[in-house]
Amino acid sequence: MRIIVRLICFLLLWFSFSAQAQSLLARNISLNIEKQQLGKVLSMIETQGAFRFSYNSNILPTDSLVSIHDNNLNIAEALDKILNHRFEYRQAGNFIIIRYAPMELVLLVNESVGNTDLYTITGQIVDKQLHKPIADASIYEKNLLVSEISDGNGYFSMRLKNISQPISLTVSKENYKSTVTHFLAEVNVVHTKGQVSERFISGNLDEVEKTWLGNALVTTGQKIQSINIGGFIAKAPFQFALLPGLNSHGSLSGQVVNKFSFNAIGAYSAGVDGGEIGLIFNIDKSDVRYFQFAGAFNLVGGNVHGAQIAGFFNQVIGGVEAAQVALGYNYIGKSFEGFQVGGIYNHIGNDFNGMQVSLGLNTIGRRLNGFQVGAFNLIAEKQEGLQVGVAANLVRGKSRGMQIAGIANLNQQSEGVSVAVLGNYTASTARGLQTGVINYAGKLKGVQLGIINISGQNDGYSIGLINVALNGYHKLSLGTNESTPYNVAYKGGSKNLYNMLMFGMNSKAGEKVYTAGLGFGKEIGLFGKFSLNPEISSQYVYQGSWDYLNLLNKFELPLNIRINKWLAIQGGPSVNMYYTKQNTAISNFGLLQQKHQDFSFKNPRLTGWIGWNVGLVIL
């Protein structure tokens, strides 16, 4: 009677598990399709069944044409018909995973004996059609997280302890349909609150194993389990590990996500959903959540959420939403959001949102939105925020924030502020502010402030000692005025604002003077060939000795009349204010304050007058 009750409980439990597992595959659908692409047919089945497929498009011939006419068949039957029984299907949440499995295998049980304390199963895995043994097949009990791998003759032996549920052995092998065999041990069926659950993780879960460190440290058995079992992952509350091959989950550790894992040296797991501490290293094939620490390095194949700390480096193939610290470097394959500190190097494969700090190099594969500090910073596409480079900042796309560099800022386009000790270079359009000793913009629509300002086309404002617009405003004026009969000035920049380098002289005996200085002007178009050029300038006046400070400050308002494409005439009034400390004439030099004195000031060193200028302008 006792055995019968246990059998009934087992059957009820089995049927409930089966009903849950097969709920999607057992749904009925109707298909009337004639020569349509397989990919479209799968989409129709998804719509009718209200679920999603997951499959490798490289293996599934989605472009092949299929025909099926049946008004009452379940999803599993429909898939068998259109895929010719060459695939197997498993449910994970609201997904049906299609796995290429054209062959079938069989578990031949040699012995199954034991009790709740210890149960032993031995057997052999063989090919169903060829009756040949299958080596390297994965045999595992997912609730107990116990696994074995068949030997070269297909044999295995498994010891199960502390059994509280009916035993279900799953056998998986690449290109074979998985099979489940149930064993009725003498147990009291109970529901365990912490029972292991299974879920499916899509994507390439072998990326970690392809890295140099992953290939070197992950055991052969763990690699075989990854190939055979793929994305079907179990969850467990705890793992203790000495090395990847010596841990509480055995070769199945790479298929288990742990709530907490303590690794005396290092471990290989499917992921972490709580915390992980590795005194030397941690390797996880999928996601890590909340906290991870390693004395040397963390290597993660999925995404990281929370905090990740390593003594040397962190390498994440996926993305990161975390605070991440490494004394050596951080390498992120996808996007990052949070706070990142790397002693030598930080690399982000995609976008970065947050704060990034390094004593060496920072590289971002796409966009920065935040704050970046390093000796050298490189952004592939776009920068929005603050970028500080002890040496230099390079943005291959558009800079829309602020750049500060000890040597230089370089970008393709800029719409923010670029400040550099040496120089700024914008290959295309600069709409913001460039401040440095040397500034260059392919097309200036903003402001340049420096000693030398160069632009291909200048539609903005260049303020400096030398302003050159290669395809912009260049003029040379030759003229005379009331103080110096011979004057030459170079005007360069833009119509909005150009600067002037000015030289003048009076060689007449007794009135000899030499002048040189800088000025700024603006061209205002009036009508036709007429324009007005208000200009301000300041020139040093040499009157025979360098011991005196003599400054001639002017405001001029010349009218320009264009004669032809290359020549214009100009003339107009000027207001002059002259400051001098020289009251004694030297040799043949004169004193300007004695020659012109229309109005005076309280300061005896100041004098002023109304003047004029006329001349030619070479355009």
CATH of the domain at 46: 3.55.50.30
Q: Take residue 157 and report the two structure tokens written for it.
A: 């032996």
Q: So what's the pLDDT on residue 393?
A: 97
Q: Based on the domain organization, do 297 and 178 belong to the same domain?
A: no
In tens, the pLDDT along 457-498 reads 888 898 888 888 888 788 999 999 999 999 999 988 888 888
Residues 54 and 165 in one domain: no
Q: Scan for tokens 């920072």, then name that residue.
A: 362
> Quick check: is 443 in a domain?
no
| Distance in angstroms (rounded) separating the CA atoms of residues 173 and 137 | 5
Give the pLDDT score at 394. 97
4-13, 33-42, 222-231: least confident range? 4-13
Please give the pLDDT value at position 96: 87
Higher pLDDT pick, 49 / 396: 396
Say if residues 148 and 136 touch (Cβ distance below 8 Å): no
Q: Is the dihedral of CA 190, 191, 194, 195 positive or negative?
A: positive
Is the pLDDT score of 21 beyond 90? no
CA nearest 93: which of 231, 283, 266, 209?
Answer: 231
pLDDT at 602: 85
Question: Rounded mean pLDDT of 363-375?
Answer: 96
489 with 518, same domain: the answer is yes
346 domain residue, yes or no: no
For residues 383 and 70, which has the higher predicted lDDT (pLDDT)? Answer: 383
pLDDT of 16 over the 70 cut: no
pTM above 0.85, yes or no: no
Instruction: Determine contact, residues 569/616, Cβ cutoff 8 Å.
Output: yes
Predicted confidence at residue 58, as pLDDT, reads 82
CA-based R_g, the chain, Å: 41
Percent of the chain exceeding pLDDT 70 equals: 93
- Burial environment of residue 244 by CB neighbours within 10 A (0 to 12, 13 to 18, 19 or more): buried
**What are the structure tokens assigned to 29, written together?**
């659908």
Rounded to a whole number of angstroms, the distance between the first and last alpha carbons of the chain is: 114
Q: What percent of the chain has pLDDT over 90?
A: 64
Give the residue from 195, 211, 234 where a domain finishes: 195
Q: What is the predicted pLDDT for the residue at 35? A: 86
Whether the predicted pLDDT of 190 surpasses 60? no
Same-domain check for residues 161 and 244:
no
Q: Would residue 376 count as lying in a domain?
A: no
- 614 & 479 share domain: yes
Does residue 574 belong to any structural domain of this protein? yes
**Residue 161 included in any domain:** yes
pLDDT exceeds 80 at position 442: yes
pLDDT-based confidence at residue 597 (cuts at 50, 70, 90): confident
**Residue 495: predicted pLDDT:** 86
The pLDDT value given to residue 521: 92
Q: Give, in order, the Cα–Cα distances in Å from 510 to each of 479, 483, 516, 544, 595.
A: 22, 13, 20, 11, 11
Structure token pair of residue 574: 């000027």
- Asked whether residue 171 is domain-assigned, the answer is yes
Question: Mean pLDDT across the stretch 316-329?
Answer: 96
User: Can you tell me the distance from the alpha carbon of 178 to that of 173, in angstroms, rounded to the nearest whole number?
Assistant: 7
pLDDT at residue 196, rounded to an integer: 55
CA angle 56, 60, 64 (to 5 degrees): 150
Asked whether residue 270 carries a pLDDT value surpassing 60, the answer given is yes
Domain that holds residue 245: 201-302
Residue 363 clears pLDDT 70, i.e. is over it: yes
Q: By mean pLDDT, which of 63-77, 262-276, 290-304, 342-356 is the weakest?
A: 63-77
Work out the mean pLDDT of the chain and round it to a whole number. 89
- Residues 353-368: what's their mean pLDDT? 97
pLDDT digits (tens, 9 = 90+) for 98-109: 889 999 999 999
E strand or H helix at 420:
strand 417-420
Closest CA to 283 of 229, 346, 198, 207: 207
| pLDDT, position 528 | 86
For 568-579, what is the mean pLDDT? 95
Cα–Cα distance list, 201 to 176, 232, 589 (Å): 20, 6, 92
Residue 319: the pLDDT is: 96
Q: Is residue 59 part of a domain?
A: yes
Indicate whether 531 pLDDT > 80: yes
Last residue of a domain, one of 69, 100, 131: 100
Distance CA 409, CA 392 (A): 6
Domain boundary among 195, 226, 256: 195
> pLDDT tier at 1 (50, 70, 90 boundaries)?
very low
Determine the average pLDDT of the residues in 59-71. Answer: 86
Q: Which of 3-12, 64-73, 334-343 has the lowest mean pLDDT?
A: 3-12
Pick from 349, 402, 354: which is nearest to 379 by CA? 349
pLDDT of residue 194: 47
Asked if pLDDT for residue 159 goes beyond 80, the answer is yes
Distance of CA 267 to the CA centre of its chain: 29
Q: Are residues 590 and 516 in the same domain?
A: yes
> Is residue 377 within 8 Å of residue 389, measured between CB atoms?
yes
Q: Which long-range contacts does 596-602 make (Cβ < 8 Å, 24+ apart)?
A: 596/482, 596/483
For residue 3, pLDDT over 50 is answered with no
Residue 321: inside a domain: no
Sign of CA dihedral 582, 583, 585, 589: positive
Residue 185: pLDDT band with limits 50, 70, 90: low
Residues 481 and 596 in one domain: yes
Structural domain count, the chain: 4
**Model pLDDT, residue 510:** 87
Length of the chain measured in residues: 619
Distances (CA, A) of 104 to 131, 163, 177: 10, 29, 5
Question: Residue 125: phi, psi to the nearest 5?
Answer: -105, 125
CA dihedral (256, 261, 266, 271) positive or negative:
positive
Distance of alpha carbon 368 from alpha carbon 387, whole angstroms? 9
Which pLDDT belongs to residue 162? Answer: 84
User: Could you read off the pLDDT of 384-428 as tens digits, one per residue?
Assistant: 999 999 999 999 999 999 999 999 999 999 999 999 999 999 999
pLDDT for 17 beyond 50: no
229 and 125 both lie in a single domain: no
486 and 603 housed in the same domain: yes
Mark whether 289 and 268 lie in a shared domain.
Answer: yes
Determine the pLDDT at residue 197. Answer: 62
In a shared domain, residues 84 and 113: no
Q: Same domain, yes or no, for 50 and 9?
A: yes
Decide if 322 contacts 334 (C-beta within 8 A): no
User: Cβ neighbours of residue 339 under 8 Å, at least 6 residues apart?
Assistant: 322, 323, 324, 354, 355
Asked if 422 and 408 touch (Cβ cutoff 8 Å), the reply is yes
Q: Identify the sign of the CA torsion 309, 311, 316, 320.
A: positive
pLDDT, one tens digit per residue, over 72-93 is 888 888 899 889 889 988 887 7
Confidence of residue 269 (pLDDT cuts 50, 70, 90): very high
Please give the pLDDT value at position 143: 84
Nearest to 407 by CA among 442, 387, 436: 436
